[in-house]
Structure 1
Amino acid sequence: MKREAVAYLRAGHGLSERRACHIVGADRTMIRYRSQRAPDTELRGRLRELANERRRFGYRRLYVLLRREGEPSGINRIYRLYREEGLTVRKRKARRKAVGTRAPILVEARPNARWSLDFVHDQFANGQRFRVFNVVDDVTRECLAAIPDTSISGRRVARELTALIERRGKPGMIVSDNGTELTSNAILRWCSEHRIEWHYIAPGKPMQNGFVESFNGRMRDELLNETMFRNLTHARIVITAWAADYNTERPHSALDYQTPADYARALTTAIARPAARNESSARRAIAQPAPIGVNTNRTPVAAG
């Protein structure tokens, strides 16, 4: 600001540099100084490319991606260039936050300890609505399934969960809301046959299913709001590719900016070598608290 003020006084009023600096209160050495900093042209260009590819990524995730590529710059430098390039992510309207105390459910820090599932809705370019059935591992944060279709019944949910168990193994617990597909006779019967503990959150309390709700928010922000889906085939291709990228490429802030797949591998390795655990890791044998307030008194029982 002082440099601009001095320039204005000299150009607009014909004052000398000495007089202008005296009026503004600026040091003449500071006014004459010219930065010797490198222009960072290549780094700025790559940062813009990544920001255009990942339009909803902030500077922290972009910094992680640059470090993967071998960029030695620190996070402060990346943040400065990020601001100078005008890449700040536009914030969408925040939702009202829940208040009050809740009792969390603690689970063992291992894959498949608990799954959360939910639906998210969108529409095609022609206005036809469709939904996506999402399944998330609450400990590793992996997206286990993201299945789009125009209609997904309770029987379809049961089939998809059966196929998922065949690929990945049986979960210790499943958490969901009270949607009609998830409280249907098909799901109750499926739970009884597979002997899986299923907990329903309290009605009207979506944050009790916070892990999958957070995932839904990321999906909507980074994918659904950024993509115009032509038809169901297009939606399946794009959503499958995004889910794979989410698991293997996208840095996750809750996992210290590891990817969910990398975190799951590290967790599996640590479990396989219990003798190598020290006291510090033993204190972390409990995963982050879940979905606080999950109703533990209601387990599905087969109807009829």
Structure 2
Amino acid sequence: MRACQIAGLSRAAYYKRSVLAFERDAEVIDALNAIVTLDGRWGFWKCFARLRLDGRCWNKKRVHRVYSDMGLNMPRRCRKRLLGRSRQPLDLTNAPNCCWALDFMHDTLYCGRRFRTLNVIDEANRERLAIEIGTSIPSMRLIRVLSRLIDCYGAPNAIRLDNGPELVSQMFTEWAASKSIAIRYIQPGKPEYFYRTL
């Protein structure tokens, strides 16, 4: 007792058994696990509001500490920012084989399997040059289709397309540069351009 007085420490604190964090917060952990199993995409504030509605009056700092220790913090979804590209007018050419338009479409089979179609048209006469169908159409397959069309019709002066991942890849842009084909990206917010040329 005298040693505790000299150290300025109470005897109750000296003899108190230390409790591990997961034992102390077992109730909070179980409650958060129950909420997360219902919907794993809920954030902290939604989980905290659900706990309050269930009658759990824990401090928000304690709940957030346990929430973070459990590793439930999820990174925020942010939109992928595209490279700044100069706006180009949506003009149509009159001579055939000057500019091709490229676009992807997708649909689902009866069995639930998804597939995509790559559509290539000539902007001048609106001729469908190719419709490639597959469950996956990466950049290499896109280049093969266009190379086949170039062997048949000749290389166009330009290709108009949107900002899809296959169309902005380094492999595709280098291939277009090697064939001296200009790439014209559609203006942001103009996805209906391809269908207006049909």
- Alignment TM class, shorter chain as reference: 0.5 to 0.7
CA distance in 1, matches of 2:92, 2:189: 22
CA distance in 2, matches of 1:172, 1:154: 20
Q: 1:202 aligns with which of 160, 183, 187?
A: 187
What amino acid sits opposite 1:173 in the alignment? Answer: A
Q: 2:195 aligns with which of 188, 213, 234?
A: 213
**Counterpart residue number, 1:105:** 91
**Counterpart residue number, 2:129:** 144
**Counterpart residue number, 1:134:** 119
What amino acid sits opposite 2:136 in the alignment? Answer: S
How does 1:218-233 map onto structure 2 within 5 Å? none
**Counterpart residue number, 1:37:** none
How does 1:12-51 map onto structure 2 within 5 Å? none
CA distance in 1, matches of 2:107, 2:171: 25
Identity of aligned residues (%): 41
**Counterpart residue number, 2:148:** 163
Q: Deviations over 1:165-208 (max 9, x none)?
A: 0011111211000000000111111111101011111233213x
CA distance in 2, matches of 1:183, 1:148: 20
Structure with a larger share of its residues in helix: 1
Look up the SS of the partner of 1:206 in the other structure.
Answer: coil
**Counterpart residue number, 1:118:** 103
What amino acid sits opposite 1:162 in the alignment? Answer: S
Unaligned runs of 5+ in 2: 1-87
CA distance in 2, matches of 1:215, 1:202: 15
Look up the SS of the partner of 1:105 in the other structure.
Answer: coil
137 and 159 in structure 1: CA distance in 2 versus 1, 3 angstrom threshold: same
Structure with a larger share of its residues in strand: 2
CA distance in 2, matches of 1:116, 1:139: 10
Look up the SS of the partner of 2:121 in the other structure.
Answer: strand
What amino acid sits opposite 1:105 in the alignment? Answer: D
Give me the TM-score of the superposition, normalised by structure 2.
0.52
What is the deviation of 1:214? Answer: 3.8
Look up the SS of the partner of 2:178 in the other structure.
Answer: helix
CA distance in 2, matches of 1:134, 1:104: 19
What amino acid sits opposite 1:156 in the alignment? Answer: R
Q: Deviations over 1:64-98 (max 9, x none)?
A: xxxxxxxxxxxxxxxxxxxxxxxxxxxxxxxxxxx
Q: 1:178 aligns with which of 140, 163, 172?
A: 163
- Structure with the greater relative contact order (CA < 8 A, sep ≥ 6): 1 or 2? 1
Look up the SS of the partner of 1:118 in the other structure.
Answer: strand
Give me the TM-score of the superposition, normalised by structure 1.
0.35
CA distance in 1, matches of 2:195, 2:144: 22
CA distance in 1, matches of 2:89, 2:184: 14
Larger-gyration structure (1/2):
2
CA distance in 1, matches of 2:120, 2:92: 19
CA distance in 2, matches of 1:113, 1:140: 10
Q: Deviations over 1:213-262 (max 9, x none)?
A: 2477xxxxxxxxxxxxxxxxxxxxxxxxxxxxxxxxxxxxxxxxxxxxxx
In the TM superposition, structure 1's runs of 4+ consecutive aligned residues that sit over 3 Å from their partners are none
Q: Deviations over 1:19-63 (max 9, x none)?
A: xxxxxxxxxxxxxxxxxxxxxxxxxxxxxxxxxxxxxxxxxxxxx
Tell me the matched-pair count: 111
